[in-house]
Amino acid sequence: MKVIRLGLLLCASLTFYACDDTTHTLGMDMLPDSDAISTHTTTFDVTTRSVEADAVYAKTAIGYVGKFTDSEFGDYTASFLTELNSTENFKFSDILPGVYEEYYDGDTLKGRGTLVDDKVEAVRLLVYYNDWFGDSLNACRMSVYELNDQWIQERHDENRKYRYTNIDAERYKGRLLGRKAYTAWDASIPDSIRNATDSNGNRTYYPVLAFNLDTEIGENILELNRAYERGENNYFDDADHFIDNVFKGVYVKSDFGDGTILYVDRVDLEFQFRFHYVDSLGVALKKKVNDANGNIGDDSTYIGRQPLFASTKEVIQANRFANSDRLTAKANEKEWTYIKSPAGIFTEATLPYDEINQQLVNDTLNAVKLTFTNYEDRNNQAFSMDAPTNVLLIRKSEVKSFFEENQINDNITSFVATHNSNGANQYHFPNIARLITTCINEKKTARDKAEKEAGASWDESAWDAQWNAENPDWNKVLLIPVIITTQQTSSSTTVTTAIQHDLQPGYAKLQGGDPEQGGQKLTLEVTYTSFPKSNN
């Protein structure tokens, strides 16, 4: 077995290829006959099929919760669990003005604290969201549970199975903390509040669902922290100690309603304390009321609220997505393929590496184009899903490591494309030549080593059959919906900083499928350079 020679097209060839990628030999008469290299374009067939995603790796700061039923794909439910972060060496005394008492330096009064009592007035769990999919006025209900001891055991799992969207979150469901009926659009909020802005023009209203928790939860945390300040435990040294010993986190799910998925940005544990109003000297202000005897009223007080522990990227947040059997039925359709998010369906393509190598063994690949075209298949639902904006084309064997190791596309074995990039309802990959040559060379290297070891007993056909059996995904790639994060460099260049699975609802129905059951093959367009054969 030989390998396609790697290399770049000569400058002259590059010039004419850039002008017309369908012209085979334009410009060759400028070269001497003895150097008559030529550029050609040929095509190969590509077969595709839909495969269920089952579960995807989802390291994200967004929590998804709700249920949505689509007429095509059936229903799916979303829930999530999240830990709450504690800053290192956290102490309540660092953030509270202290119990209402006088402080002296010798005989000099230095000031008075403003905290009425050394106790927690109330505790709330705040679930913030700023976006959603589906019906904003759909009646829903959310339930929040504290995580249980089972979670504490498994959060330290080095395999990090909790990062995958098939996590059995129900296993970690502890005591119920609260339930809340809601609609994504809270009609009780007046426009004056909803549209209020700060001095920079940024909106100050943030949609939130507030759960009033048992005050005992806050009192217990305060008591443990007082013991920490006395050196009796290490529970507030950092987030891990806090989660393991103080508050494990919460599990958030929807248990009523169909048609809305909330995108939760943050979960806060808010503490409330009662404070005195004081004057500029720290003296408690009296209420401006008199009783029947003309006595001044009690000290004026107020409730101070402060989120002290919150979900952040430093702690674990895990999403659970569950699809109905209807998704399997869609993935089994043969006349076309699908990509569906979240954690739904990918399109698998089988690329003809062996055929390319056999046909173009003495030539150099310059460009290999692959295009996935989607049907205009929008249904008439009020809240239909759009085609995913970005997709990743990647070797099937590399998907797990790509997402778990937070890699970005290298344009060798992984590529990205944007929907409608060429204005024709397509995901277009203009050049995956390096993928082709990498995979062909991979097999050639293994083949050469095996032949050397086998010696006179070498059997090409037997080895090839064994290779294909042991490496079934060698010639397969997956098309996966993704979210791409970018940033601008100091030179105003846009660079990709992260690629993650797209966890928002979306789908595209693509041309392809099984040609024997009503589908059609895709076309791989290969541009290559042929060199004159040597007479020696």
For 58-94, how does the pLDDT look when each residue is reduced to its tens digit (9 = 90+)?
988 899 999 999 999 999 999 999 999 999 999 999 9
User: Which of these three, 312, 343, 363, is where a domain ends?
Assistant: 312
**DSSP per residue, 318-347:** EEEEEE-THHHHHHT-SSSEEEEETTTEEE
CA distance 140 to 252: 13
pLDDT value at residue 10 = 35
534 or 362, higher pLDDT: 362
Asked if residue 307 and residue 208 are part of one domain, the reply reads yes
Asked if residue 51 and residue 72 are part of one domain, the reply reads no
Residue 57 has pLDDT above 60, yes or no: yes
User: Which of these three, 312, 333, 368, is where a domain ends?
Assistant: 312
Residue with tokens 């604290």: 113
Asked if residue 505 and residue 483 are part of one domain, the reply reads yes
Which of 72, 121, 410, 64 shows the shortest CA–CA distance to 262? 64
Residue 423 has pLDDT above 90, yes or no: no
17 assigned to some structural domain: no
Residue 6 has pLDDT above 50, yes or no: no
CA distance 99 to 120: 12
For 442-466, how does the pLDDT look when each residue is reduced to its tens digit (9 = 90+)?
999 999 999 999 999 999 999 999 9
Task: Quote the Cα angle for 158-160-164, to 5°.
Answer: 165
Asked if residue 488 and residue 432 are part of one domain, the reply reads yes
Mean pLDDT of the region 385-402: 96
418 assigned to some structural domain: yes
Residue 149 has pLDDT above 60, yes or no: yes
pLDDT value at residue 116 = 85
Burial class of residue 11, CB neighbours in 10 A (0-12, 13-18, 19+): exposed
What are 416-424's contacts with CB under 8 Å, separation 24+?
Answer: 416/390, 416/391, 416/392, 416/482, 416/484, 416/496, 416/499, 417/390, 417/391, 417/393, 418/389, 418/390, 419/374, 419/387, 419/388, 419/389, 419/390, 419/391, 419/508, 424/373
490 or 3, higher pLDDT: 490
421 or 211, higher pLDDT: 211
Q: How confident is the model at residue 9 (pLDDT cuts 50, 70, 90)?
A: very low
Radius of gyration for the alpha carbons in the chain, expressed in angstroms and rounded: 32
CA–CA distances in Å: residue 321 to residues 66, 76, 135, 253: 10, 7, 19, 11
For 89-119, how does the pLDDT look when each residue is reduced to its tens digit (9 = 90+)?
999 999 888 776 665 566 776 556 788 888 9
pLDDT value at residue 424 = 83
For 243-286, how does the pLDDT look when each residue is reduced to its tens digit (9 = 90+)?
999 999 999 999 999 999 999 999 999 999 988 887 766 666 66
Q: How many helices (H) and strands (E) does the chain have?
A: 10, 23
With beta carbons less than 8 A apart as the criterion, state whether 475 and 397 touch. Answer: no
For 474-501, how does the pLDDT look when each residue is reduced to its tens digit (9 = 90+)?
999 999 999 999 998 888 889 999 999 9
CA distance 199 to 205: 14
22 assigned to some structural domain: no
Question: Sign of the CA dihedral 263, 406, 391, 75?
Answer: negative
Q: How confident is the model at residue 418 (pLDDT cuts 50, 70, 90)?
A: very high
Residue with tokens 């953030």: 95
User: Which of these three, 286, 312, 338, is where a domain ends?
Assistant: 312
Quote the DSSP letter at residue 357: H
CA distance 96 to 117: 11
Close Cβ partners of 343 (under 8 Å, ≥ 6 residues apart) = 53, 54, 55, 56, 58, 165, 166, 321, 323, 501, 503
33 assigned to some structural domain: no
Q: What are phi and psi of 365, to 5 degrees?
A: -75, 135
Which residue type sits at 402?
F
Residue 293 has pLDDT above 70, yes or no: no
Asked if residue 448 and residue 367 are part of one domain, the reply reads yes
Q: Quote the domain boundaries for residue 430.
A: 46-55+323-378+386-454+463-525
Helix extents (H) in 253-405: 326-331, 353-359, 399-404
Provide the residue count of the chain: 536
86 assigned to some structural domain: yes
Number of domains in the chain: 2
Asked if residue 347 and residue 206 are part of one domain, the reply reads no
Asked if residue 398 and residue 261 are part of one domain, the reply reads no
With beta carbons less than 8 A apart as the criterion, state whether 339 and 388 touch. Answer: yes
- Preceding amide of 342 cis, omega within 30: yes
185: its two tokens:
């659009």
For 305-363, how does the pLDDT look when each residue is reduced to its tens digit (9 = 90+)?
999 999 999 999 999 999 999 999 999 999 999 999 999 999 999 999 999 999 998 89
115 assigned to some structural domain: yes
CA distance 185 to 68: 16
CA distance 20 to 11: 15
Averaged pLDDT score across all residues of the chain: 88
**CA trace torsion 449, 454, 456, 458 (10° rounding):** -80
140 assigned to some structural domain: yes
Asked if residue 268 and residue 354 are part of one domain, the reply reads no
Q: What are phi and psi of 279, to 5 degrees?
A: -85, -170
Asked if residue 361 and residue 281 are part of one domain, the reply reads no
Residue 532 has pLDDT above 80, yes or no: no
CA distance 490 to 468: 47
Nearest-10 crossing angle of helices 460-470, 433-454: 130
Asked if residue 126 and residue 106 are part of one domain, the reply reads yes
Element (H, E) at 460: helix 460-470
With beta carbons less than 8 A apart as the criterion, state whether 521 and 401 touch. Answer: no
pLDDT value at residue 422 = 64
For 167-217, how does the pLDDT look when each residue is reduced to its tens digit (9 = 90+)?
999 999 999 999 999 999 999 999 999 999 998 999 899 999 999 999 999
Residue with tokens 């799916």: 76
Asked if residue 259 and residue 357 are part of one domain, the reply reads no
Q: How confident is the model at residue 301 (pLDDT cuts 50, 70, 90)?
A: confident
Asked if residue 248 and residue 153 are part of one domain, the reply reads yes
4 assigned to some structural domain: no
The 3-state DSSP composition of the chain as helix, strand, coil percent (nearest 5) reads 20, 40, 40
